[in-house]
Amino acid sequence: MRRLALAIMVLSVGCAPAGSSSDADVAGGAEPPELFGFGSPASTERIAIWDIDVRPDGEGLPPGSGTVAEGEQVYLMQCIACHGPTGTEGPNDVLVTREPWVEWPAGRTVGGYWPYATTLYDYIVKAMPQLTPGTMTADETYAVIAYILHLNDLVPEDAVMNAETLPAVEMPYRDRFVPDDRTGGNVIR
Amino acid sequence: MAPDSRSSISRRTWIAATSGAVAAGLIKTKADAVKLVAQEAPTPPDDPTKIPGRFTSEVGVRAPEERPRRLTRSQTLSSSSRTPLQELQGTITPADLHFERHHAGIPDIRAGGHELLVHGMVERPMVFSMADLKRYPSVSRIYFLECSGNGGGAYNRERMPVEISPQALDGLLSTSEWVGVPVKTILNEVGADPAATWILAEGADAAVMSRSVPMEKIMDDALLAYGQNGEAIRPEQGYPLRLLLPGWEGNASVKWLRRIEVTDRPTMTRDETSRYTDPLKGGLSRQFSFFMDAKSTITFPAYPYTLPDTGWWEIQGLAWTGRGRITRVDISTDGGQSWAEAELQEPILPKSTVRFRHLWNWDGRESLLISRAVDETGYVQPTVQQLWEARGERTAYHNNQQRVWKVAADGAVTFGLGDLV
């Protein structure tokens, strides 16, 4: 027993936070510290490398720009093999529809379903092209987004996408998305 | 070539061949499987008491006759595999049979170099190594994890399946003992702004899979999990670190977690807008539908099993709810005309699977077996007609309808919901 108690004490001391001002360890009945301090400060530079997400108000969008015409060239190089010549043929996700969403969406396409244009940037810059993700420049990303939006009749042929214009693109079905109203209890929703 | 390596290669070839046979549907019955084993496996001694057994080993393997397998889909970069529910016992899923769902392949990540960045609306942005995280006070919890698309294969009236197993229909469900650090411990450490209402969780896979999660859930029971069923989380489940949101749709429990940004609004990532939203009748789509409502399914008897005989059989299955505890499971053996309460196996843990049992004396007539779960909020697992009425018929996420199994007079079991719609 004595040896066990000693072992517990040693373990407890071993777990005490570095620089803790606490005068007793947990086994002695003291509360754990407010902060443990395990981990390192993250520098601004370090955060900038990973903080690449983009939000609907445009926060996170980098400098740069791209046109529909430039985007067509990017599309032909990077996207056509999986999404087809006009964004409708697959074999992977269909990107384009001009059919309206009446009762049911015609597909989960950019023009027929997606509620936010900024999601295109957030997704493409992280996950596309599928076999070489994260390799497109900001200009290429803006350009291919302009092209995809144009294929969906959401921006004109002379559109330029950048940090100001992309969040301003009106997505037709944004207001169709409603919060979850399921609550538990004896209700079927 | 040394005899040892030759035999090991031939064994590997044999395993590949047999699992290929299973995948190709060549093994239809237990008898077929036994034939394969009889041809290829080392012959066991006639009397194991008359020959010494083998030595100890560093890593165990299953008995030669036991070969549960995940059901894999096409080998594409965004894919899934399903847990063989009808072959498992109890509630814990062996880690190597836990369902898989990933959007750009399973990344090769070493724990030694993996770090979690926590920043945004915090006083002290910080980076945590795995060693740092493991030094924080840990907790262990048993929770189910389920893809929101699970069960979607039996929602469409025109395409109601018949020859479908519990694995093929509901195998995007697994249960594990998860070990990790409460996320709120780490948010306390970085000094999260009390005005923050969401976080963004981001993975280190090739899709940089990201989801926004409400702060309320994070501060309730969200875990930074690194352990699963007694060992490190498997690569397919997010090694070395994943977010674990108990009772919520699996996609939001971001795997290979590398970054948490504390925010005051959702980011509206692709997987919370164009995917994992649920179109409803009336031209609307339900967003942030995180909760997995109460479900149950009978795993025995179920397709592809055939009851060889009339008489006493133990109906078994699993029930689960993302809203807390299962309180009751009802069983019908006559297509829903009469119901009896099943026995629930203790302990009944919140946001975990519960095994239920019901003794049934089969008289040899065609029978429709149904299970119906009730949870602690009073929610009753609905019929498919109730879901169609509430949601319309062209959505498939979060399909928690009552599952039906038909036992034919010859004992063959198929999915029987089509008989009731």
**Contact list, A39 vs chain B (CB under 8 Å):** 126-129, 132, 189
Radius of gyration of chain A (CA): 26
Confidence category of residue B41, pLDDT binned at 50, 70, 90: low
Indicate whether A55 pLDDT > 60: yes
C-alpha distances in angstroms, B128 versus A44, B121, B122, B235? 15, 17, 15, 19
Q: Judge whether A19 and A37 are in contact, CB under 8 Å.
A: yes
A73: distance to nearest CA of chain B, Å? 23
Pick the CATH number of B111-277 from 1.20.210.10, 3.90.420.10, 3.30.70.1020, 3.90.180.10: 3.90.420.10
- For range B70-77, the mean pLDDT: 88
More confident residue, A11 or B335: B335
Indicate whether A25 pLDDT > 90: no
Indicate whether B24 pLDDT > 60: no
* B8 CA to centre of own chain: 32
- Tell me what pLDDT residue B210 has: 98
- Tell me what pLDDT residue B75 has: 79
Measured CA to CA, the distance from residue A67 to residue A139 in angstroms comes to: 9
Nearest CB partner across the interface for A39, out of B128, B259, B274: B128
- Tell me what pLDDT residue B20 has: 41
Query: Which domain range does residue A136 map to?
Result: 54-176
Nearest CB partner across the interface for B285, out of A50, A134, A177: A177
Measured CA to CA, the distance from residue B142 to residue A133 in angstroms comes to: 35
A26: distance to nearest CA of chain B, Å? 12
CATH of the domain at A61: 1.10.760.10
Measured CA to CA, the distance from residue B192 to residue A147 in angstroms comes to: 40
Indicate whether B358 pLDDT > 50: yes
* Interface subset of B 237-276, CB within 8 angstroms of A: 258-259, 261, 265, 267-270, 273-275
Is B189 close to A105, i.e. CB distance below 8 A? no
Lowest mean pLDDT among A16-30, B53-67, B251-265, B407-421: A16-30
Asked if A178 reaches chain B (Cβ–Cβ under 8 Å), the answer is yes
Measured CA to CA, the distance from residue B332 to residue B349 in angstroms comes to: 24
φ, ψ of residue A151 to 5 degrees: the values are: -55, -30
Asked if A115 reaches chain B (Cβ–Cβ under 8 Å), the answer is yes
Contacts of A188 (CB under 8 A, 6+ apart): B382, B386, B387, B389, B390
Q: Judge whether B356 and B345 are in contact, CB under 8 Å.
A: yes
Measured CA to CA, the distance from residue B154 to residue A20 in angstroms comes to: 57
Helix/strand/coil for A177: strand
Domain assignments of chain B as residue spans, ordered by start: 1-67, 111-277, 295-420
Asked if A174 reaches chain B (Cβ–Cβ under 8 Å), the answer is no
B127: distance to nearest CA of chain A, Å? 5
Give the model confidence (pLDDT) of B175-227 as tens digits: 999 999 999 999 999 999 999 999 999 999 999 999 999 999 999 999 999 99
ipTM: 0.87
Q: Judge whether B373 and B296 are in contact, CB under 8 Å.
A: yes
Give the whole-number percent of chain B exceeding pLDDT 90.
Answer: 88
Name the maximum alpha-carbon separation found in chain B.
Answer: 72
Give the model confidence (pLDDT) of A69-86 as tens digits: 999 999 999 999 999 999
* B88 CA to centre of own chain: 12
Measured CA to CA, the distance from residue B160 to residue B101 in angstroms comes to: 24
Give the model confidence (pLDDT) of A122-173 as tens digits: 999 999 999 999 999 999 999 999 999 999 999 999 999 999 999 999 999 9
- For range B360-382, the mean pLDDT: 98
Is A53 close to B267, i.e. CB distance below 8 A? yes
- For range B327-340, the mean pLDDT: 98
- For range A107-130, the mean pLDDT: 97
- Tell me what pLDDT residue B34 has: 45
Measured CA to CA, the distance from residue A32 to residue A25 in angstroms comes to: 8
Measured CA to CA, the distance from residue B250 to residue B144 in angstroms comes to: 9
Burial B34-54 (b: 16+ CB within 10 A, else e): eebeeeeeeeeeeeeeeeeee
Is A35 close to B323, i.e. CB distance below 8 A? no
Answer whether residue A128 is part of any domain: yes
Query: Average model confidence (pLDDT) for chain A?
Result: 89
Nearest-10 Cα torsion for B346, B347, B352, B356: 0
Q: Which tokens is B336 given?
A: 């829903």
- Tell me what pLDDT residue B40 has: 53
- For range B20-34, the mean pLDDT: 44
Nearest CB partner across the interface for A38, out of B136, B210, B377: B136
Answer whether residue A23 is part of any domain: no
**Contact list, B103 vs chain A (CB under 8 Å):** 127
Indicate whether B390 pLDDT > 80: yes
**Contact list, A99 vs chain B (CB under 8 Å):** none
B299 φ/ψ sector (left φ>0, alpha ψ -120 to 50, else beta): alpha
Give the model confidence (pLDDT) of B75-88 as tens digits: 788 999 999 999 99
Q: Judge whether B373 and B326 are in contact, CB under 8 Å.
A: yes
Residue of B nearest to A37 (CA): B189
Is B132 close to A42, i.e. CB distance below 8 A? no
Measured CA to CA, the distance from residue B164 to residue B137 in angstroms comes to: 44
Answer whether residue A84 is part of any domain: yes
Residue of B nearest to A38 (CA): B132
State whether the Cα torsion B95-B97-B101-B107 is positive or negative.
positive
Contacts of A46 (CB under 8 A, 6+ apart): B117, B127
- For range A33-37, the mean pLDDT: 96
Residue of A nearest to B322 (CA): A184
More confident residue, B349 or B27: B349
- Tell me what pLDDT residue A27 has: 60
- Tell me what pLDDT residue B43 has: 86
Indicate whether A66 pLDDT > 80: yes
Pick the CATH number of B295-420 from 3.30.70.1560, 3.30.530.20, 2.60.40.10, 2.60.40.650: 2.60.40.650
φ, ψ of residue B170 to 5 degrees: the values are: -125, 20
Is A108 close to B274, i.e. CB distance below 8 A? yes
Identify the CA nearest to B191 among candidates A32, A44, A39: A39
Indicate whether B256 pLDDT > 70: yes
Q: Which residues pair with B228 in a beta bridge?
A: B178, B231
Query: Average model confidence (pLDDT) for chain B?
Result: 92
- For range B260-283, the mean pLDDT: 97
A3: distance to nearest CA of chain B, Å? 24
Q: How many CB pairs under 8 A join A and B?
A: 161
Answer whether residue A43 is part of any domain: no
Lowest mean pLDDT among B2-16, B160-174, B265-279, B338-352: B2-16
Asked if A54 reaches chain B (Cβ–Cβ under 8 Å), the answer is yes
Answer whether residue A37 is part of any domain: no
- Tell me what pLDDT residue A98 has: 84
Indicate whether B156 pLDDT > 50: yes
